[in-house]
Amino acid sequence: MTTTRPSGVRHGPPFAPPGRFAVLVAGLSTAVVVVALLGVSVGSVGVPVTTVWQVVGHHLGLPVTPPDPVLDQIVWTVRVPRVLLGIVVGAGLAVGGAVIQTVVRNPLGDPYLIGIVPGAGLGAVVVIVLGSAAVGGLGLSAAAFLGAWAAFGVTFLLGRRHGAWPPVRLVLAGVAVGYLVSSATYYLQTVAAPNQVQRVLFWTLGSLSGAAWEQLALPVVVIALGTGWLVLNGRRLNALAAGTDLAASLGITVGRLQLQLMALSALVTGCIVAVAGGIGFAGLVVPHLARLLVGAEHRRMLLTSVLVGAVFLPLADLAARTLRAPAELPIGVVTAAVGAPFFLWLLRRTDGGRAS
């Protein structure tokens, strides 16, 4: 019976005692709040933290002095939804990346690897360049979500063998689908009108600039329910990560679990890309940072990934909108600047897919 660990996935330190893990969660939760305040306060117009609390308290019905109308508009209508969307997107990308790495048992796995993000990008670019009539009248976000699921469906069909999804076959199918979809996206970019190119660029590289309150509900519900289900099934994920033979010997229907995990990752990532575009590398980097902190036990690793992602993405967005202010960079530029060196660091620690 084969009981191998996930190929190339480093398990990190021994499991921390419950008290130490609780301190870590409390520290990361505090960091989320601090980063959120920083993201709302910093911008082309600086807003004192006391004013941020005043605006938020006013909208929550607390007995505070009514804020200045201009600052109220900046904080509540523009920056708070943007920062909250960054927190949600970061958490969701972290969960999606952790799930894909478990399914493919590869440390370099993320939602790009099985074609979900390229598919969503194609759906959005079709609407931008050809108009909504080309996809039956769907809006841009709906087309992106549909594209994500279409690419996932093709990868799902091509990667299946004997009722299961062998990791190597799934990776190869996802890479092939991703390249095929990306070729169509690049072609549409070459025929896009000059006024469409900027929208295509920001959509394919990701941006939170269009954040609005109404965009938050669906991703929050999907990510919260999905993460809860994953944590409840943490033992099954641990077994799958240790090897499909071991998982099967424990009575787990491996093919069904793999399908559930891939579908969940596609759902979470599709919701994210539909509102924020294709943000790369976050799903690759954050789960590994979580493993370095708490090890590879999935219940702790997933909760830690959610919090680390909720810190990482708003910080990346803050850098994207301040490094070249008043111009704004696509957020994918910033995450790639961090993720690419981390990717190379992982390559130096793998040898043919195994930890060196």
Quick check: is 48 in a domain?
no
Number of domains in the chain: 1
Which token pair is 233? 């099934």
3-state helix, strand, coil in the chain (%, to 5): 75, 0, 25
Residue whose structure tokens are 């050809």: 130
CA quadruple 202, 203, 207, 211: dihedral positive or negative?
positive
Q: Nearest-CA neighbor of 343 among 114, 25, 112?
A: 112
Within a domain: 47: no
Tokens of 76: 């509540």
Distance between CA atoms of residues 261 and 301, nearest Å = 16
- Give me the amino acid identity at 110: D
CATH of the domain at 154: 1.10.3470.10
Any domain includes 85: yes
Q: How far apart are the first and last CA of the chain?
A: 23
**Residue written as token pair 């306060």:** 41
Three-class DSSP category at 350: strand
The pLDDT score that the predictor gives to residue 349 is 66
C-alpha to C-alpha distance for 149 and 125, rounded to whole angstroms: 15
Q: Is residue 313 part of a domain?
A: yes
The answer as to whether 25 is a domain residue is no
One DSSP character per residue, 126-192 reads HHHHH-GGGGTT--HHHHHHHHHHHHHHHHHHHH-BTTB--HHHHHHHHHHHHHHHHHHHHHHHHHS
**Could you tell me which residues come within 8 angstroms of residue 219 by beta carbon, excluding any fewer than 6 positions away?**
85, 88, 89, 92, 271, 272, 275
Burial of residue 142, with CB atoms counted within 10 A of its CB: 0-12 exposed, 13-18 middle, 19 or more buried: middle
* pLDDT digits (tens), the chain, 356 positions: 444 444 444 444 555 566 788 999 999 999 999 999 999 999 888 889 899 999 999 898 888 888 888 998 999 999 999 999 999 999 999 999 999 888 888 777 788 878 888 898 898 899 999 988 888 888 888 888 888 889 988 988 888 887 777 878 888 898 899 999 999 998 998 888 888 888 888 888 888 988 899 989 999 999 999 999 999 999 999 998 888 888 888 888 888 888 889 889 888 888 898 889 888 888 888 998 898 889 889 999 999 999 999 999 999 999 999 888 788 888 989 998 987 887 787 667 655 444 44
Burial, 299: exposed, middle or buried (Cβ in 10 Å; 0-12, 13-18, 19+)?
middle
Q: 262, 27 in Cβ contact below 8 A? A: no
What pLDDT does 347 receive? 67
pLDDT score recorded for residue 4: 41
Query: What per-residue confidence (pLDDT) applies to 15?
Result: 54
| CA separation for the pair 63, 315 (Å, rounded) | 31
Q: Give me 75's structure tokens.
A: 């904080």
Its pTM stands at: 0.86
DSSP state of 157: H
- The pLDDT assigned to 312 comes to 95
For position 351, what pLDDT does the model report?
52
Q: Is residue 295 one of the residues assigned to a domain?
A: yes
Q: Is residue 15 domain-resident?
A: no
pLDDT at 167: 78
| Enclosing H/E stretch for 30 | helix 18-41
Amino acid code (one letter) for 7: S
Length of the chain (residues): 356
Full domain range(s) for residue 271: 81-355
Residue 201: what pLDDT?
Answer: 81
Q: CA distances (Å), 32 to each of 29, 206, 331, in order?
A: 5, 21, 18
What is the C-alpha separation between 89 and 153, in angstroms, rounded? 23
Distance CA 271, CA 18 (A): 33
Q: Is residue 69 part of a domain?
A: no
